[in-house]
Amino acid sequence: MTNVISFQGELGAYSHQACVEMFPNMEVLPCNTFEGAVAAVKDGRADLAMLPVENSTYGRVADIHHLLPETGLHIIGEYFVRVHINMMVVPGTKLEQVKHALSHTVLLGQCRGFLKEHSIQPRTGVDTAGSAKHVAKAADAEVAALASALAGSIYGLETLAENIEDNQHNTTRFLVMSPEPERPSGGDMMTTIVFQVRNIPAALYKAMGGFATNGVNMLKLESYMVGGNFTATQFYADIEGHPGDPAVDRALEELAYFTTHLDILGVYKMDAFRTSVR
């Protein structure tokens, strides 16, 4: 065991924050891509990978649902990060000096109100933590970074304004990936599956019927194209419960009848964040 967890992005990214909060005793390994974070686990440089899958404001993370079934890894946990956005500058800079805000384009779109109020022009950076790193290196008082507080502390920036996001609910969900599956005991549990339905009329409707008749709650269902084929659609679903629960077993058995393939990506404990917002 390496006691290392990988993530995509620079040190100080929100993925880094998720790693630190969920696994405070593990070392972190930043990677350039999601594929790189997965490869670090598969070749033994990391024990786990932290991957973002969806955001409450912008929906699912692009390409991640295509990647998950192909990784060969298993989901063993989930974690939610409340995305607080901070404006950070070179120490000693005053707010009235700032003319531009540098960050990932998605984050810039979440702070329109604050930027407009202070007549600050958005400027697109590669990512959030990378923008903080750039601002620290450039030492230009006219350019601020929009990023996490963690990024500011890593790169020695001073915070001018905290929690400037327009949407106060803005939250990102992460999945923890491992080479081996886990079967946690106790507490509320979840199962994540991917499947393709058979090419017959009302196949999806019939496949979903098993969850309704057996009282299994489906928390998420998304579809996406596979292989560039307009007739081949794969579905990603999160359900409450786990294989071994009679109701879940019956629902999955019925689902399997209407699918060409069905894969279980992980069985894991439900994060406490879900119950806190119910």
77 Cβ neighbours under 8 A, 6+ residues apart: 22, 175, 176, 268, 269, 271
**The one catalytic residue among 7, 23, 114, 174:** 174
Secondary structure element (H or E) that encloses residue 100, with its range: strand 100-103
Cβ atoms < 10 Å from Cβ of 263: 13
CA distance 111 to 5: 30
Task: Check if 273 is active-site.
Answer: no
CA 199 vs. chain centroid, Å, equals: 31
CA distance 147 to 84: 8
CA 128 vs. chain centroid, Å, equals: 15
Written as six digits, the tokens of 216 are 């299994």
DSSP annotation of 186 reads S
Report whether 211 contacts 232 (CB < 8 A). no
Task: Check if 124 is active-site.
Answer: no
Whole-angstrom distance between the N-terminal and C-terminal Cα of the chain?
A: 37
Identify the CA nearest to 206 among candidates 162, 171, 254, 140. Answer: 254
Report whether 104 contacts 14 (CB < 8 A). no
Written as six digits, the tokens of 187 are 């507490």
**The one catalytic residue among 71, 93, 172, 192:** 172
Positions marked catalytic: 172, 174
